């Protein structure tokens, strides 16, 4: 009998890639969706890249207790990926914070109650990169974004509070070594469906010519397949329990991303803006443009992140980001999204 893994948020970009890789490795996957209407879409996406004979779809809501006990029953592992994520600031911060924290709380408690060997939680680099630090600081897993940091948005707050809740619960229940946390940066890569991930949307907007100029927003990119592999290694690795692992490269500007796309996909670059927005102008524009304002912390970013533990966990270096950018662009074209 194959080991069963519950993957919450299987319809999402990261959750889908984790589930697909689990299926390719012979695991039975029980994937959760919030709406049953997405079940056929998920099955089609999985069937296109893996044998879906061991795939089961269940319904779970981050804000409801219903179904969590049944979903974790018989599972050896849990991958808790589901979490709300929006690109624009919500009117009510609790629209992000409540489901993130409550969903993580339900997933951790249900997993521990079911006796799973390990639960892996998808957190975010945002729980690390707002830690007070000198300009030349190398961010590591010991860095934490403080909740009292001035100007934290709802998304960052939701991720910090959710990850803190996961550690608090496992500490309280004497099960810290049964939790592992993955903290990815801007996740890009080939799509499994017509629903691009949030970070992929930034590349989609560049290719579609949605912006008159390319802003100097710098993201610590990571390939979604590295993220999926890291989740699985964190699930099974003997020393991975009780750890949080950063998955991020040093930030690359959207201007650099556009240069890669023009060089490698000239046939798909006709709509792309040709002018780069200088850092100073990006700051000025962020005063008036909501999406830039909400991502102001990425303007001209020069943070550095310790990739050593992640590459040790993976047993190899990260995939090449220029190649991942190219594959992301090709995938967007293939799915008719640009």
Q: Taking phi first (over 0 means left), then psi (-120 to 50 degrees means alpha), and beta for anything else, what does residue 9 get?
A: left
Distance separating alpha carbons of residues 6 and 126, to the nearest angstrom: 25
Distance separating alpha carbons of residues 291 and 106, to the nearest angstrom: 31
Q: DSSP string spanning 42-101?
A: HHHHHHHHS-GGGEEEEE--TT--TTHHHHHTT-SEEEE------SS--SSTHHHHHHHH
Contact 329, 244 (CB under 8 A): no
C-alpha distances (whole Å) from 50 to each of 37, 39, 96, 317 are 21, 16, 32, 25
For residue 269, what are the contacts with CB-CB under 8 A and spacing of at least 6?
Answer: 207, 261, 262
Q: Does 91 participate in catalysis according to the annotation?
A: no
Which is the catalytic residue, given 89, 91, 159, 271? Answer: 159
Q: DSSP string spanning 215-256?
A: --BEE-EEEHHHHHHHHHHHHH-TTTTTEEEEE-PSPEEHHH
Residue 105 DSSP one-character state: H
For residue 250, what are the contacts with CB-CB under 8 A and spacing of at least 6?
Answer: 220, 303, 304, 305
Active site members: 159
């Amino acid at each position: 009998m194959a080991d069963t893994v519950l993957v919450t948020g299987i319809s999402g970009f990261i959750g889908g890639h984790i589930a697909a890789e689990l299926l390719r490795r012979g695991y039975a996957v029980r994937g959760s969706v919030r709406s049953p209407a997405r079940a056929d879409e998920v099955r089609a996406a999985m069937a296109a890249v893996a044998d879906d004979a061991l795939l089961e779809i269940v319904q779970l809501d981050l804000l409801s207790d219903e179904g969590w006990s049944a979903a974790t029953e018989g599972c050896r592992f849990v991958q808790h990926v589901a979490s709300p994520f929006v690109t624009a600031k919500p009117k009510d911060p609790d629209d992000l914070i409540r489901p993130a924290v409550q969903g993580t709380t339900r997933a951790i408690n249900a997993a521990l109650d079911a006796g799973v060997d390990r639960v892996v939680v998808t957190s975010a680099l945002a729980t690390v990169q707002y830690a007070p630090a000198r300009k030349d600081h190398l961010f590591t897993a010991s860095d934490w974004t403080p909740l009292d940091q001035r100007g934290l948005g709802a998304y960052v707050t939701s991720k910090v509070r959710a990850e803190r809740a996961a550690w608090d619960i496992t500490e309280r229940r004497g099960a810290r070594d049964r939790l592992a946390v993955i903290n990815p940066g801007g996740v890009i890569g080939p799509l499994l469906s017509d629903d691009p991930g949030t970070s992929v949307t930034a590349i989609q907007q560049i290719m579609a010519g949605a912006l008159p100029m390319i802003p100097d927003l710098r993201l610590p990119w990571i390939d979604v397949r590295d993220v999926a592999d890291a989740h699985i290694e964190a699930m099974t690795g003997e020393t991975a329990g009780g750890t949080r692992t950063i998955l991020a490269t040093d930030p690359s500007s959207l201007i650099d991303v556009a240069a890669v796309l023009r060089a490698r996909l000239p046939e798909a670059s006709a709509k792309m803006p040709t002018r780069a927005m200088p850092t100073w102008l990006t700051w000025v524009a962020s005063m008036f443009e909501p999406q830039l304002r909400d991502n102001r912390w990425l303007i001209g970013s020069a943070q550095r992140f310790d990739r050593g533990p992640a590459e040790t966990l993976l047993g190899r270096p990260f995939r090449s980001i220029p190649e991942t950018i190219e594959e992301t662009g090709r995938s967007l074209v293939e799915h008719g999204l640009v």
